[in-house]
């Protein structure tokens, strides 16, 4: 049973436009949600996170929105840049347990 | 210098061989993890360790074993490699004092089992 779901395997966006990556979860006990970015031949790197007690967290061009009632979060990248092309993983944790990852979404930003 | 290092970075082996993947960290974190990444399947947890004397199975531990030799070192062994263990393997660390407990990943080991 997949607790964290990223239903879009890939997304293409034009440079300068908004990229929206979506993530759904099933475990209402998750207390932190994290987004990771992964380039080819590198390990995933932490991008941005949000606590379950908040509904929005912003860091420069990146904003994460959390809708607890819908068990849904999204990552917005504005404006998108070619260097943002990567695989993005949504992850979540509850209490003292390891992160649970989604399957990832490959973002391609087209110049 | 990288905080989380993995050796080797690439490995080709044959079915039935025993191999070990090593992970070292200089972050001083107590917690360490091993994941594998397969196309379309994301990152799946193999084993994790919350301190030197603690070992826990993850989602897909069958066919793998681990050893936590010291706070800084966590190795993953494939006792008898099989082709469906061909994957990218990542080690990660975290600090339980970090309220969201961000995990920090190594660069990965690409393993091919023939």
Q: Is A48 on the interface with B (CB under 8 A)?
A: no
A54-97 confidence digits (pLDDT tens): 999 999 999 999 999 999 999 999 999 999 999 999 999 998 88
Measure A76 CA to nearest chain B CA, in Å.
Answer: 20
Cross-chain residue pair B106–A98, CB shorter than 8 Å: no
B13-57 confidence digits (pLDDT tens): 999 999 999 999 999 999 999 999 998 888 999 999 999 989 999
Cross-chain residue pair A9–B58, CB shorter than 8 Å: no
* Residue A41: pLDDT over 90: no
Cross-chain residue pair B100–A34, CB shorter than 8 Å: yes
Q: Distance (Å, rounded) from C-alpha A21 to C-alpha A6? A: 8
Q: Is A9 on the interface with B (CB under 8 A)?
A: yes
Element (H, E) at B70: strand B64-70
Q: Distance (Å, rounded) from C-alpha A44 to C-alpha B105? A: 6
A43: nearest CB among B48, B102, B108: B108
Which chain A residue has its CA at the smallest distance from B91's CA? A43
Q: Distance (Å, rounded) from C-alpha B31 to C-alpha B46? A: 14
A42 to A38, A45, B91, B110: CA distances (angstroms): 7, 9, 12, 11
B71-88 confidence digits (pLDDT tens): 999 999 999 999 999 999
* Residue B1: pLDDT over 70: no
Give residue ranges of B with CB < 8 Å to any A CB.
4, 33, 35, 40-45, 48, 58, 90, 92, 96, 99-108
């Amino acid at each position: 049973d997949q607790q964290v779901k990223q239903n879009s395997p890939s997304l293409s966006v034009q440079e300068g436009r908004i990229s929206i990556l979506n993530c759904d979860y099933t475990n209402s006990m998750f207390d932190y949600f994290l987004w990771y970015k992964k380039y080819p031949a590198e390990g995933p790197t932490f991008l941005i996170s949000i606590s379950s007690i908040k509904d929005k967290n912003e860091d420069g061009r990146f904003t994460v929105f959390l809708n607890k009632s819908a068990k849904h979060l999204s990552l917005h990248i504005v404006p998108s840049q070619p260097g943002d092309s990567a695989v993005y993983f949504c992850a979540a944790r509850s209490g003292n347990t390891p992160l649970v990852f989604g399957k990832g979404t490959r973002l391609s930003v087209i110049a | 210098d990288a905080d989380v290092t993995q050796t080797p970075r690439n490995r080709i082996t044959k079915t039935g061989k025993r191999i070990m993947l090593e992970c070292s960290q200089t972050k001083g974190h107590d917690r360490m993890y091993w994941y594998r990444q397969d196309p379309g399947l994301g990152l799946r947890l193999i084993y994790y360790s919350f301190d030197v004397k603690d070992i826990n199975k993850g989602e897909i531990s069958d066919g793998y074993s681990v050893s936590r030799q010291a706070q800084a070192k966590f190795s993953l062994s494939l006792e008898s490699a099989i082709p469906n263990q061909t994957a990218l393997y990542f080690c990660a660390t975290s600090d339980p004092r970090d309220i969201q407990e961000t995990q920090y990943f190594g660069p990965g080991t690409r393993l091919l089992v023939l």
